[in-house]
Structure 1
Amino acid sequence: MSRYHLAGRTVLITGSTGGLGSALARAVAARGANLALLDLDADATARQAEALGPDTAARGWAADVRDFDSLQRAIDAAAAHFGRIDVVIANAGVGAMAPLATVDPAVFERVTDINLNGVWRTFRAGLPHVTQQKGYLLAISSMAAFVHSPLQGAYTASKAGVWALADSTRLEVRHLGVGVGSAHPTFFKTPMMDQIHSDPAGNTLWKGNASGLWKMIPLDDVVAGIVSGIERRADLIVVPKRLGLPARIPGLIRPIVDRIGFPGTTIPDAIAQASPTGWN
């Protein structure tokens, strides 16, 4: 497949001011794309856009992925401003660290609503514009879609759901010339990871992601892998590539991963330290 050049195209990113969203925005701008930046805080997106270029190259809008009308207004406004939307990156996401038995139901529902329903809302609102350009929809999922860790049921379920949603949507829109992909990076440094490491349960479970099976990779590697996937209009983006096999055959290796990754009393120890609110 020929390379899908980003220069001159318009790329829309939700959760644009977060760690990954900001890095993706810079990388896409460097390839000559125009940027529609969506996040909860209008002032933050405006500052982000100003740092990336003039109004004709980058502009921010306030939007809440939990509110379809909010998303629709922002995406329609971005399309009107730039004259087109070629790529939509559904990047907004949150996490929580608590077991099913004690997690606050509102916390569980918030995570799944943002991470999964938020992707659906973003795709739904953006699809008419992307269809006009025969463009590309990308959902930011995670390796958590394939490796299901304890105390993160809402996160892993939502990320697995995002993977499935992308696969289903791809079948629905392929006759329209629209590509659909899901990105599945392993651990990398973001404010969310800082939150996990500062939480007693998260620190017990992941031990700072400093070494071994759960070691973090550089943010630059994640961004490079995702941008390369966009330029290939890839169905599945796994970062790093060496985890491609685990991503494709999770059912075969999950029991081994579970034994190696969470030995002894690691899980009950983490459960004992977890807060019903999702974080301590």
Structure 2
Amino acid sequence: MDERVLRGRVAVVTGAARGVGAALARELAGEGMRVALLGRECETLHAVARTLPVEAHCYAVDVTDKAGMARVAEQVTDDMGPASVVVANAGIAATGPFATADPDLWERVVNVNLLGSATTARVFLPQLARTHGYFLQIASTAAFGAAPMMSAYCASKAGAESFAQSLRAEVAPRRIGVGIAYLHWTGTAMTQDIDENPVLVALRASQPRFAGRVHDAAQVARWLRLGVERRATSVYCPPWLRLMEPLRPLFPFVVARVARRALAHVDTRAVEQSAGVLGAGGAADWHGGHVPPTP
């Protein structure tokens, strides 16, 4: 599925209102794909659509709303035709100790990142079967080794990886490709407080300098687009992450030890005060599709 095959086909991107989702929509549109933008922020979706050089349709929907997603899948087919590429990108993150975390927010992170991805796959699989298309699950290096103070995010991304691996084997006979994208530190609204949030500061400082580099969302989107063109089973953003795969059995132990040492020097009060959802996209999701005003 190279760029010549992508041209004129339909791509569906969830979480397309900002960040990696919006950047990937621009990359795919640049290859001539017609794009369906899904998300909870209607006005922001339309703002992204206006930047695209090809036909784009916006659908305001919550990826955890099974009935709503089923309706949107039908609308995409009616408006644009069956999807050839579906990217399960919608995701939110929250930091803070598990013991004192808001249980509803903790569950919301898991629902969006894991169950929302499964719902996305479920409603679009019939279309991908018709087009022999490609489903890309956006995961994270959080699936490599779970970091403390981000238990919901790490659990959901590890679950999303396992879900996509299982799905890949199931749908291969139907000539549907399934890829998993592993994103590291990426410059989006989710990481806008990377130098102030005590949890993010501690986690990043515990990594080698090259591993702590924050990659621009546009660059990450280019890596993802290449993965879509190749129907890659794994997409590493940045590419050097591929070299870490043989070491994955060691990661849980290494991450736990390093993180424990790093967080030992973090102000507990500051961690408690900074706990909560990360970024404008997460805030919009948590507040029902609207970004709350800055205090």
TM-score, normalised with respect to structure 1: 0.90
Partner of 2:289: none
Partner of 2:10: 10
* 1:48-67: CA deviation from partner (whole Å, max 9, x where unpaired): 2232146xx11111111121
Partner of 1:70: 68
Superposition deviation, residue 75 in structure 1: 1.9
- Contact 1:185–1:238 (CA<8 Å) still a contact in 2? yes
Superposition deviation, residue 41 in structure 1: 2.2
Partner of 2:138: 140
- Contact 1:139–1:166 (CA<8 Å) still a contact in 2? yes
Superposition deviation, residue 141 in structure 1: 0.6
Partner of 2:290: none
Matches within 5 A, 1:77-92: 77-92=75-90
C-alpha change, 1:192 and 1:208, in structure 2 (3 Å) is: farther
* 1:40-99: CA deviation from partner (whole Å, max 9, x where unpaired): 122322232232146xx1111111112111111112111111122111101100000112
1:246 to 244, 248, 256: 244
The answer on 1:26 being equivalent to 2:30 is no
The answer on 1:264 being equivalent to 2:272 is no
Q: Tell me which amino acid in the other structure corresponds to 2:221.
A: V
The answer on 1:117 being equivalent to 2:115 is yes
Partner of 2:154: 156
The answer on 1:171 being equivalent to 2:169 is yes
Return the alpha-carbon distance in structure 2 between the equivalents of residues 129 and 205 of structure 1. 40
Percent identity of equivalent pairs: 33
- Contact 1:15–1:93 (CA<8 Å) still a contact in 2? yes
The ranges of structure 1 where at least 4 consecutive aligned residues each deviate by more than 4 angstroms after the TM superposition are 207-210
- Contact 1:205–1:270 (CA<8 Å) still a contact in 2? no
- Contact 1:134–1:176 (CA<8 Å) still a contact in 2? yes
Return the alpha-carbon distance in structure 1 between the equivalents of residues 112 and 220 of structure 2. 21
Partner of 2:286: none
C-alpha change, 1:256 and 1:27, in structure 2 (3 Å) is: same
Q: Tell me which amino acid in the other structure corresponds to 2:113.
A: N
- Unmatched segments (≥5 aa) in structure 2: 279-295
Q: Tell me which amino acid in the other structure corresponds to 2:263.
A: T
C-alpha change, 1:212 and 1:233, in structure 2 (3 Å) is: closer
* 1:114-162: CA deviation from partner (whole Å, max 9, x where unpaired): 0000000100111111111010111111111112111011101100111
- Contact 1:97–1:196 (CA<8 Å) still a contact in 2? no
Return the alpha-carbon distance in structure 1 between the equivalents of residues 49 and 42 of structure 2. 11
* 1:14-56: CA deviation from partner (whole Å, max 9, x where unpaired): 00012101110111011010000111122322232232146xx
- Contact 1:210–1:216 (CA<8 Å) still a contact in 2? no
Partner of 1:273: 270
Partner of 1:52: 52
C-alpha change, 1:79 and 1:248, in structure 2 (3 Å) is: farther
- Contact 2:203–2:262 (CA<8 Å) still a contact in 1? no
Return the alpha-carbon distance in structure 1 between the equivalents of residues 163 and 18 of structure 2. 23
1:93 to 91, 102, 126: 91
Q: Tell me which amino acid in the other structure corresponds to 1:275.
A: E
Return the alpha-carbon distance in structure 1 between the equivalents of residues 49 and 241 of structure 2. 34
C-alpha change, 1:190 and 1:210, in structure 2 (3 Å) is: farther
1:61 to 54, 59, 81: 59
Q: Tell me which amino acid in the other structure corresponds to 1:158.
A: S
Return the alpha-carbon distance in structure 1 between the equivalents of residues 175 and 120 of structure 2. 19
Q: What SS is found at the alignment partner of 1:237?
A: strand
Superposition deviation, residue 269 in structure 1: 2.1
- Contact 2:199–2:263 (CA<8 Å) still a contact in 1? no
- Contact 2:40–2:61 (CA<8 Å) still a contact in 1? yes
RMSD of aligned residue pairs (Cα, Å): 2.4
TM-score, normalised with respect to structure 2: 0.85
Return the alpha-carbon distance in structure 1 between the equivalents of residues 62 and 42 of structure 2. 11
Q: Tell me which amino acid in the other structure corresponds to 1:62.
A: A
